[in-house]
């Protein structure tokens, strides 16, 4: 029997009057790749942030195998958000080392793990380069190395191949499967059904803040009497997907000021483009 590493028990999450998640219960076991599948606004990212301890549930609990809340044991987790959040003035290794030191991991241990996984991601020669000039794929790979360097028990990935070229996406998926084969546990959030079917041992379909199905791809097809995961998904989500609240919200004056302050100005003239390069 596989060991349970993470227990989500009857969790709800509210944002003002919006109920993002409704009575979610889920067990994450050792040595599996679990796919969180759903449309934009379904609740996937909210659930991932609860697992990572970024959010606290409005009700219910998110506990590790030792009974501790994830908010107090974040070193057990490795997180790769959709936005990588790298420091552009640091090299790839400096980004990774900084993150590892925050987890209390020595540079020697961090480097050994980084070097090992960098070989698989074809990133070893780029570890000394500043991330400012990195492509989207290289930034994503660096974020993945950063998440693995402190030796987490559970890896949380939010749309890990979004925007990647075919080769980079294949490389990331191959590493995820390797981690599973070595006994690792991966939570893989995606809205790509084909990718989930290709990578994941188990698929959790989330729709409008609820879990509509949970099981291996083959079992989902049998339970829904369908021939493809796409057909199974459609049959389980016939009710209209809710609109994300932020899509309809007007930007506040403070939010607009904050966004403009930290968003680089887009060059509009030839001279500005040349100066920015």
pLDDT tens by residue, 82-139: 888 899 999 999 999 999 998 899 999 999 999 999 998 889 999 999 999 898 889 9
**What contacts 24+ positions apart, CB below 8 Å, involve 190-198?**
190/35, 190/36, 190/37, 190/159, 190/160, 190/161, 191/37, 191/38, 191/39, 191/40, 191/44, 191/159, 192/161, 193/37, 193/229, 193/230, 193/233, 194/229, 195/161, 196/35, 196/37, 196/229, 197/229, 198/173
CB 171 within 8 A of CB 121: yes
Helix axes 229-236, 217-224, angle to 10 degrees: 60
129-173 pLDDT per residue, tens: 999 989 888 999 999 999 999 999 999 999 888 878 888 889 889
pLDDT at 249 over 60: no
CB 149 within 8 A of CB 99: yes
| Residue with token string 């030796």 | 151
Is this prediction's pTM over 0.75?
Answer: yes
CATH superfamily of 4-276: P-loop containing nucleotide triphosphate hydrolases (3.40.50.300)
Tokens of 44: 């996937």
């Amino acid at each position: 029997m596989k060991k349970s590493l993470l227990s989500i028990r009857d969790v709800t999450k509210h944002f003002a009057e919006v109920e993002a998640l409704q009575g979610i219960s889920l067990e994450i076991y050792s040595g599996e790749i679990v796919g969180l599948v759903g449309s934009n606004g379904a609740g996937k990212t909210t659930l991932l942030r609860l697992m990572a301890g970024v959010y606290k549930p409005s009700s219910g609990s998110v506990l590790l195998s030792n009974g501790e809340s994830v908010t107090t044991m974040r070193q057990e987790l490795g997180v790769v958000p959709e936005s990588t959040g790298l420091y552009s003035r640091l090299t790839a290794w400096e980004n990774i080392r900084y993150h590892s030191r925050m987890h209390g991991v020595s540079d020697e241990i961090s480097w050994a793990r980084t070097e090992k996984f960098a070989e698989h991601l074809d990133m070893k020669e780029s570890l000394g380069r500043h991330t400012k000039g990195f492509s989207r794929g290289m930034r994503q790979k660096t974020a993945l190395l950063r998440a693995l360097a402190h030796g987490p028990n559970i890896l949380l990935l939010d749309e890990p191949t979004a925007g990647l070229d075919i080769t980079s996406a294949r490389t990331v998926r191959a590493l995820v499967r390797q981690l599973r084969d070595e006994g690792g546990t991966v939570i893989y959030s995606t809205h790509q059904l084909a990718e989930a079917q290709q990578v994941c041992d188990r698929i959790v379909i989330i729709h409008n803040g609820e879990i509509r199905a949970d099981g291996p791809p083959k079992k989902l097809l049998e339970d829904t009497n369908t021939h493809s995961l796409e057909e199974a998904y459609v049959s389980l989500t016939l009710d209209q997907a809710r609109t994300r609240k932020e899509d309809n919200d007007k930007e506040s004056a403070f939010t607009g000021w904050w966004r403009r302050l930290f968003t680089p100005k887009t060059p509009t003239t030839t001279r500005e483009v040349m100066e920015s390069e």
